[in-house]
Amino acid sequence: MKITKALITAAGPDQRNLALQTLVDRDGQRKTVLEILISEVRNAGIEEIGIVVLPDDIELYKSIVNFDTQIHFIAQDKARGYGYAVLCGAAFVGNDYFLHLVGDHLYVNRSAQPCAKHLVEIAQKHQCPVSAVTSTRENLIPNYGTIGGRRIPASTDLYQIEKVIEKPTPTLAEQKLIIPGLRAGHYLCFLGMHVLSPTIFTLLATKAEQTEGQKFGLSEALNELTTKEQYLALEKNDLRFDIGSRYGLLKAQLALALTGDDRDQILSELVEFLTIRNLS
Amino acid sequence: MSTLISIIKATDPEIKNRSLDEVCKNMTLNDLVIETIAIEQYRKEETNLYNRVRALFFLYAIHRFYIPYQQKVSTRGLLPYIAHEHLLKRRFEEAIQIFLSIQKEHGANEGISSGLAEAYHQLAFQTLADQVKLSVHSTAGNRWMFRISHPSDQPLRILKVLKEKDENSGLYPCLHETTPVRMDISHSCWSDIFFLGMDYPEGANVLNISIDLCIKDDMGSTPRPPIETWFRVIDEPVIRLSSIDLAASSDITDLSEVFDFAKDYLGLLKAAVIASGIVPPGMEGAGLPLSYLLERMVGKGKGIEIASKVNNIPKGSRLAVSTNLLASLISVCMRATGQTEQITGILQEEERRLVAAKAILGEWLGGSGGGWQDSGGVWPGMKIIQGVESTSNDPEHGVSRGRLLPQHTVLSNTDTLGGDIREKLQDSLVIVHGGMAQDVGPVLEMVTEKYLLRSQKEWTARQSAIHYFDEVVDKLKSGDIKGIAEFTHKNFDGPIQEIIPWATNVYTETIIETVRKEFGENFWGFWMMGGMSGGGMGFIFAPAYKKQAQLRILEIMLAAKKQFEHGIPFAMEPVVYDFKINEYGTKAELLNGIAALMHEDYYTLTLPKTIKKELNELTECQRNELAVLSSTYKNTSHYNGFVNNLFDRMIPQVQGENNHQEVLNNLLLELGFHAAQHQQIKNELKTGKIGLSKNRLPANTSIDDVLSEELAEQAAITTEEYHEIGLQALKNKELAIVTLAGGAGSRWTKGAGVVKSLHPFAKFDGKHRNFIELHLAKTAATNVKFNTELQHVFTSSYLTHKAVSGFIVNNNKNSNAVVSEGKVIGLRLIPMERDLRFMWEEVSQKMLDEQAQKVQQSVRSALINWARTNGEGEDYRDNLSAQCIHPVGHWYEIPNLFLNGTLQQLIHENPNLKHIMIHNIDTLGANADPAILGYHISQGAGMSIEVISRKLDDRGGGLAKINGHLRLVEGLALPDEKQEFKLSYYNSNTFWINIDYLLKVFGLNRTDLLNKTLVEQQVYKMAARMPSYVIIKDVKKRWGKGQEDIFPVTQFEKLWGDMTSLPELACSYIHVERNRGQQLKEVAQLDGWLRDGSKDYIDSICKF
């Protein structure tokens, strides 16, 4: 199995402009969020990328990526939620495994191995879908898709996913998503990066039919995927930033800057800023 | 290995379930002590919780029921104060070590064994309670709430759908939950107690049915879910809690207020807010404004409102109303915060289990507790609830055999039940509330102890109950209602009463008997609900007679209540219910638009406050709500009467209050209330001249214990010589008995204001008998045995006179019993804050379990606030008249014999009369023993006093040498609590008095008794020499549907024991056996009293 395609969703009503925000990357270069995501994908050895956007945004997005011919724009015709956005990529992906990222999240690697690359390697090695997850404290889990399962024997960062619940309450998580070996009050939540099998499109199509024009998410389909085929989670301690949340973009920028070439400069400026703030 | 340890450790049920009695009954004192030493060592090393607890119960039982009754055991032994203090502070291990070291040094004695028994008993229950607490905390779904300690970490959010106002009405949607209550058709012999389900899960089975209910009336009411709860968003940053039926509402603005459970009547709602995770228990003590949390959960400037209503179901119904109300509140809060899959409709099985687990947590937080079946109303219809063995996935695994939470199996028509079983049950069963509201706590402790001890009789009874359960289920499946009735009745007559004889009472048995007589074969059987009978009960009839039975049972209950209400505490008038099986369990609907109003009674409660505000002070939501309400009440039929009710609430019922005060004033006048003296007492109390702390003797008073040679031992004076002297005196009719029956017995009924002496508390000779009957039966036995005719006087007070004299006239026509009417009364006062603080903070108090202690502190601060706001030291008038006045101590009950002519009458009828034996109503063993009488006569003393050796519970003073003078001293008068623990002997309050001698002390003689003025003058002269004690007593105030509040009130008492301080009254003291001198002060003592042979002793000295 070789993964050659990636699908990025960027058509949510609240996220259509997020991918176009400009940041300074770790190497000091100005880039849009989309460009940073594309770098992540390309680092994983994937050239062909599909981006799901609103029909009206296609031209704008094309200009951002300099009309790269290996980047395809897919129009999402109806506002029917995240699940539908992924389903829109079915024709582009075809009957292959694919890497999937969301356009409103940024990933800051804390290890030498970039997250997408690692994910793709694991998927190819185990010949199955894999989602990147990170250990998350229970007070934050109502913001993320969260998995339940068990650690794969003799591995430190791989888990067999048995259950997926979107934004669970801690009450529910404690009953259904406890993973032995994790610290008390911690769960594995999606980082927003997955390698998925084409089965997901079948499941999403069924959902689309069942929900009769209503919105539907991806997590329910991922939960069903656990019953159809082996589905793994790769635990990463990388940082993810929801740039659509309050101060999300600022926090992402800070993380990039403080882990990149300009760390010292930013730090000293922050200290200076803090001093001024205190004096005032 | 010790025999008892091998029983505890055994895996073979034949050995494990052997009873303690089987092993201990033939043991010597030495054998018993060796066993206790071995078990003490074992229980410290044992890791299995239930083995450890059983060992603790064994140790308790050996020290309570076996060692003290060994011939060689010393009756005299001092209890160290430090050990007592450890016990009060719940440092049981430390107390045990002190008691054991004394036992090791001086050998076993009654006093030390009483201390050890208490310590082991409490430690056993503490160990069990700790395990339940741990299990509740460890239940998946509850754990996270203990880790979230700051509002910033709150992961829950109010669902979006609840935060969106309706565009037209401007109202937020309102989530409305309805919940049935549950009835337990099998009566599981209390096997649903958590501890027991965890110890012996296979024995924990109940058949539990969810029902809708209404009180049967003439207005055509139909059964509906009796519990309703509401949840909605409001545009104020507060949590607004309202209990519509309790007429209480409060806006909470601070986190700490949420944890203040007893501040108002909203404790259950607060417990639900916490247990559902809205304010997680981990946030207790965070000390932050609530707005911070609410902003995170609902939005800036927003808050939430939660309301509850119990529809006309009185307290004590035995239908688990409070647990199901808590469950309903938790469910509605969980739905609103996305903790259930669906916001409306019925719950899924896993969600129901979670609601039940959180309800247990909520009950623990609120310092109360129910059984594991109590939240059965959350589930639909009929279900079997069973204990389950714990597995490796459960937090109880390796600790207890059973899980905390049982398993619910809903019985559906298709697989198990006949289609018409529900109708059949509804057509035959009459559910009632008998009107009694009793504290079942002691019963639950008794059952736990007996089951864990595997006491033989009770264990066999339990096995029968398990068999009856199977029979009831079989009959249910085959649709045989008559068969069910047969077994529920057998269960009540058999196992239930064999395990807990106190589960029945004369009121219940009278009703059953009358129903049986009237309905004959058409009355199929009785069925007891809950912990005790007298409250919620079921009667099963042939279907054709149900309607008639519903009408008649109410009349029968009312008649029986009238017959017994003087002696048995009733919280309300009896009622009959209509019911219907609820097939949904708890369920919710979302009210939108103009339908999103609360219950009409909610507005009656809250509108008076709302409409006092200016329009611009109201929030937008309130304005919108008023507008919608204004148009709705005119067009909707269920708002009929709304405006009238609103006016009734807004305009206080002045007329009713005036009438009440008039009744009280008239009563005071009638009873000879001394207003000037009362005013003086009030002034002295307010200025601090008198008070609890001023009861004490000066600190430099010398207080010493009494040497054994300074008093007579009963065994030593039981000689032929004294016996003969006493016998001749008896035959010569020189003795009369005086039973003090003027007190209210407030410890017996917890301040309910009924007549303790008329409480038929136990069965003797096949019939429930009250204290008066027992004392008369003793006198009858004496008369027969010694060929005499003793005169027997019962003293009374304003509270008891009518009832006591009525009972004696109607029931004991052939006895020589007379009633001496008490004339002196006092008016209770609202206590001073300093006295309350002295009582609660300066005097050693028993600490409760952690959470219960917090609740108690909350109650106390509310009561101090009550005293402050109602006027410290002012008259207590806000209750029934009889609850506002008080008897002034038993000192007056003896001079009353002079004042009211009773002594004169006795002497007139029997000129030979020379002595009286005076004793408390609850000293059942005191009788006219010829040897003691002979000793008394031979001593030539004015008064001979009986004392008993002190045990742990014998508190309140005793026999002491005060500044070298031998006398009785009240506990209130001791300068320091520790002093009491130096005193070996406790006052049993039985006095043998030489009449002429006493009259002389009063400055009177027999002839003077005819001179009323002189008698009054001399009595008041003597009264002035006696100290008056300021004391605080609890009184109950009843309101609403069987609700009761307990208030501490100040009153004054003079006590007869202080006569021993008079130098001119020569006294002698006799140390009597415990059977003779012990007093029955609390209902909780009854079981031990029965088991330790005390009851048999009383039986042996009575003739019925």
Q: Convert B969-1003 into a string of H (helix), E (strand) and C (coil).
A: EEHHHCCCHHHHCCCCEEEEEEEEEEHHHHHHHCC
pLDDT tens readout for residues B319-339: 889 999 999 999 999 999 999
Q: Count CA within 13 A, CB hemisphere, residue B641.
A: 4
- Record: contact B140-A174, CB cut-off 8 A: yes
- Report CA dihedral (B150, B155, B161, B166) to the nearest 10 degrees: 20
pLDDT tens readout for residues B584-599: 999 999 999 999 999 9
Residues of B in contact with A173 (CB under 8 A): 144
Scanning every residue of chain B, which has its alpha carbon at the shortest distance from the alpha carbon of A175? Answer: B140
Q: What is the DSSP string of B897-908?
A: HHHTSHHHHHHH
Count other Cβ atoms within 10 Å, centred on residue A127. Answer: 11
Closest C-alpha among A117, A112, A113 to residue A101: A117
3-state secondary structure of B184: strand
Q: Which residue has the higher pLDDT, B948 or B750?
A: B948
> What's the farthest any 2 CA atoms get from each other in chain B?
99
* B227-234 and B303-310 beta bridge pairing: antiparallel
Residues of B in contact with A171 (CB under 8 A): 141, 144, 277, 334, 339, 354
Contact (Cβ atoms closer than 8 angstroms) between residue A162 and residue A148: yes
- Record: contact A142-B337, CB cut-off 8 A: no
Q: B659: distance to nearest CA of chain A, Å? A: 55
Closest C-alpha among B210, B166, B522 to residue B352: B210
Q: Which of B144, B158, B160 to mutate to test the interface with A (most CBs of A within 10 A)?
A: B144
Q: A1: distance to nearest CA of chain B, Å? A: 38
Q: Count CA within 13 A, CB hemisphere, residue B348.
A: 10
In-domain check, residue A149: no
Count other Cβ atoms within 10 Å, centred on residue B1013. Answer: 7
pLDDT at B655: 59
Residues of A in contact with B277 (CB under 8 A): 169-171
Contact (Cβ atoms closer than 8 angstroms) between residue A133 and residue A191: yes
Give the pLDDT band (50/70/90) at residue B944: very high
pLDDT at B54: 92
pLDDT at A280: 47
Contact (Cβ atoms closer than 8 angstroms) between residue B69 and residue B1092: yes
**Mean pLDDT rounded to a whole number for chain B:** 90
Running DSSP on this structure, what letter comes out for residue B1066? -
- Record: contact B334-A171, CB cut-off 8 A: yes
- Region(s) of chain B under CATH 3.30.230: 149-170+227-310+321-368
Which CATH number is associated with domain B149-170+227-310+321-368?
Answer: 3.30.230
Scanning every residue of chain A, which has its alpha carbon at the shortest distance from the alpha carbon of B351? Answer: A172
Distance CA B801, CA B821 (A): 6
Whether B415 has a pLDDT exceeding 70, the answer reads no
Distance CA B553, CA B560 (A): 10
Distance CA A72, CA B183 (A): 66
Alpha carbon of A75 to those of A11, A53, A65, A193: distances in Å?
8, 5, 16, 21
pLDDT tens readout for residues B46-97: 988 888 999 999 999 999 999 998 887 877 778 899 999 999 889 999 999 9
Superfamily of chain region B671-832+872-1100: Spore Coat Polysaccharide Biosynthesis Protein SpsA; Chain A (3.90.550.10)
- Sign of CA pseudo-dihedral B1079, B1082, B1088, B1090: positive
Tokens for B345, please give them: 């409709």
- Record: contact A171-B350, CB cut-off 8 A: no
For residues B921-944, give the mean pLDDT.
96
For residues B460-468, give the mean pLDDT.
92
Q: Which of B152, B156, B350 sits opposite A169 (nearest CB)?
A: B156
Count other Cβ atoms within 10 Å, centred on residue B439. Answer: 15
Tokens for B482, please give them: 């008559």
Contact (Cβ atoms closer than 8 angstroms) between residue B899 and residue B1075: no
Contact (Cβ atoms closer than 8 angstroms) between residue B319 and residue B212: no
**Which residues, given as ranges, of chain A have pLDDT below 70?**
277-280
Tokens for B60, please give them: 């308790």
Q: A32: distance to nearest CA of chain B, Å? A: 32
Chain centroid to Cα B1057, Å, comes to 29
* The total number of structural domains that make up chain A: 1
Whether B478 has a pLDDT exceeding 90, the answer reads no
Tokens for B813, please give them: 């026509």
pLDDT tens readout for residues B592-645: 999 999 998 999 889 888 878 888 888 998 899 998 988 888 777 777 777 777
- Region(s) of chain B under CATH 3.90.550.10: 671-832+872-1100
Give the pLDDT band (50/70/90) at residue B187: confident
- Record: contact A171-B148, CB cut-off 8 A: no
Tokens for B565, please give them: 């209400």
- Record: contact B354-A175, CB cut-off 8 A: yes
Q: What is the DSSP string of chain A?
A: ----EEEEE---TTTTTGGG-EEE-TTS-EEEHHHHHHHHHHHTT--EEEEEE-GGGHHHHHHHTTT-TTEEEEE--S---HHHHHHHTHHHH-SS-EEEEETTEEEE-SSSS-HHHHHHHHHHHHTS-EEEEEEEETTTGGGSEEEEEEEPTT-SSEEEEEEEEES--HHHHHHH---TTSPTTEEEEEEEEEEE-THHHHHHHHHHHHTTTS---SHHHHHHHHHHS--EEEE---EEEETTSTTHHHHHHHHHHHTSTTHHHHHHHHHHHHHHHHH-
- Record: contact A171-B144, CB cut-off 8 A: yes
pLDDT at B772: 95
* Most confident by average pLDDT, A238-252, B418-432, B769-783, B875-889: B769-783
Burial (Cβ within 10 Å: 0-12, 13-18, ≥19) of residue B799: buried
Q: Is B147 on the interface with A (CB under 8 A)?
A: yes
3-state secondary structure of B832: coil
Q: B351: distance to nearest CA of chain A, Å? A: 9
- Record: contact B339-A175, CB cut-off 8 A: no
For residues B554-579, give the mean pLDDT.
92
Q: Is A185 on the interface with B (CB under 8 A)?
A: yes
Distance CA B74, CA B110 (A): 6
Amino acid at B320: A
Q: B154: distance to nearest CA of chain A, Å? A: 6
Tokens for A164, please give them: 């997926």
Q: What is the ipTM of this complex?
A: 0.79
Give CA angle at B611 (B609, B614), nearest 5°. Answer: 115
Distance CA B327, CA B340 (A): 14
Whether B679 has a pLDDT exceeding 60, the answer reads yes
- Sign of CA pseudo-dihedral B446, B452, B455, B461: positive
Which residue is it, tokens 């001093």?
A275
Amino acid at B199: D
Q: Which of A143, A169, A187 to mutate to test the interface with B (most CBs of B within 10 A)?
A: A169
Count other Cβ atoms within 10 Å, centred on residue A45. Answer: 15
- Record: contact A170-B153, CB cut-off 8 A: no
pLDDT at B11: 85
- Record: contact B155-A138, CB cut-off 8 A: yes
3-state secondary structure of B726: helix
Scanning every residue of chain B, which has its alpha carbon at the shortest distance from the alpha carbon of A169? Answer: B339
Q: Is B277 on the interface with A (CB under 8 A)?
A: yes
Q: A164: distance to nearest CA of chain B, Å? A: 14
* B536-541 and B523-528 beta bridge pairing: antiparallel
Q: Is A141 on the interface with B (CB under 8 A)?
A: yes
In-domain check, residue A185: no
Q: Is A182 on the interface with B (CB under 8 A)?
A: no
Burial (Cβ within 10 Å: 0-12, 13-18, ≥19) of residue A95: exposed
Closest C-alpha among B327, B383, B411 to residue B192: B383
Give the pLDDT band (50/70/90) at residue B363: confident
Of A63-72, B40-49, B655-664, minimum mean pLDDT range: B655-664
Residues of B in contact with A144 (CB under 8 A): none
- Record: contact A141-B153, CB cut-off 8 A: no
B157 Cβ contact list (under 8 Å, min separation 6): A142, B296, B297, B337, B338
B649 Cβ contact list (under 8 Å, min separation 6): B604, B605, B608
A–B: how many Cβ contacts below 8 A?
Answer: 51
Q: What is the DSSP string of B675-720?
A: HHHHHHHHHHHHTTSSSGGGGSPPTT--EEPPPGGGSEEHHHH--H
Q: A176: distance to nearest CA of chain B, Å? A: 9
Running DSSP on this structure, what letter comes out for residue B64? I
Q: Which of A169, A178, A184 sits opposite B155 (nearest CB)?
A: A169
Distance CA B580, CA B380 (A): 12
The residue range of the domain holding A62 is 5-128+191-279
Closest C-alpha among B362, B359, B340 to residue B351: B340
Q: B337: distance to nearest CA of chain A, Å? A: 8
- Record: contact A169-B143, CB cut-off 8 A: no
Burial (Cβ within 10 Å: 0-12, 13-18, ≥19) of residue B346: middle
How close are the terminal C-alpha atoms of chain A, in Å? 60
CATH number, domain with residue A47? 3.90.550.10
pLDDT at B413: 61
Amino acid at B1041: K
pLDDT at B314: 77
Residue-level length of chain B: 1104
pLDDT tens readout for residues B752-795: 778 899 999 999 999 999 999 999 999 999 999 999 999 999 99
Scanning every residue of chain B, which has its alpha carbon at the shortest distance from the alpha carbon of A165? Answer: B341
